[in-house]
């Protein structure tokens, strides 16, 4: 057995590239991530011990939206350092082209769980959460999948 060292990066393919490109450039910079590159074929940002790549989907899918619940990605969750950060991200997203699925709320996933759930302009869900301490990362499993959105 080995122990992985986290997730190195995630890569998203989006429709509505022009709007998504602007959205992700603004969001990722707001989250304190550093742009490695950003151009017509994609973008790549690093920060918070991870990297995020976003690029346009194949042309034949440009008119489609992401459908949550199909095979593949369910959502991406970014961990914030405080509840106040979640509230600040909420204010930022309200001013952008994000759809607020649920505003900041307490959850039962772990003690002190506080999160915001949005959709990007292509319909991909992004969650931002804060869990005091290490949360479930301390090895104590209190995860309850009932009601998984």
Domain containing residue 92: CATH number: 3.10.180.10
Q: Is residue 69 part of a domain?
A: no
Write down the H helix ranges in 31-131.
83-94
Which residues make Cβ contacts (< 8 Å) with residue 36, sequence separation at least 6?
44, 45, 46, 51
Query: How confident is the model over 48-93, as pLDDT tens digits?
Result: 999 999 999 999 999 999 998 888 889 999 999 999 999 999 999 9
Question: Residue 133 — very low, low, confident or very high, per pLDDT cuts 50/70/90?
Answer: confident
Q: Which pLDDT does position 98 carry in this prediction?
A: 87
Give me the number of domains the chain comprises.
1
Q: Which domain holds residue 50?
A: 9-57+75-135
Is residue 101 in a domain?
yes
Q: What is the pLDDT of residues 87-116, one digit of tens each?
A: 999 999 999 878 999 999 999 888 899 999
Q: Does residue 66 sit within a domain?
A: no
In whole angstroms, give the CA distance from residue 139 to residue 143. Answer: 11
In a domain, 145, yes or no: no
pLDDT for residue 135: 59
Burial tier of 126 (Cβ tally within 10 Å: 0-12, 13-18, 19+): buried
1, part of any domain: no
């Amino acid at each position: 057995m080995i122990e992985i060292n986290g997730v190195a990066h995630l890569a998203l393919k989006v429709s509505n590239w022009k709007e998504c490109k602007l959205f992700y450039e603004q969001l990722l910079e707001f989250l304190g991530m550093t742009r490695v590159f950003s151009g017509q074929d994609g973008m790549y940002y690093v920060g918070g011990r991870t990297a995020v790549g976003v690029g346009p989907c194949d042309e034949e899918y440009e008119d489609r939206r992401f459908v949550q619940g199909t095979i593949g990605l369910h959502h991406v969750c970014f961990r914030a350092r405080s509840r106040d950060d979640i509230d600040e991200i909420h204010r930022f997203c309200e001013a952008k082209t994000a759809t607020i699925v649920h505003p900041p709320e307490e959850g039962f996933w772990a003690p002190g769980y506080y999160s915001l759930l949005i959709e990007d302009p292509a319909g991909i869900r992004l969650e931002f959460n804060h869990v005091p301490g290490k949360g479930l990362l301390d090895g104590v499993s209190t995860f309850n999948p009932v009601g998984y959105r």
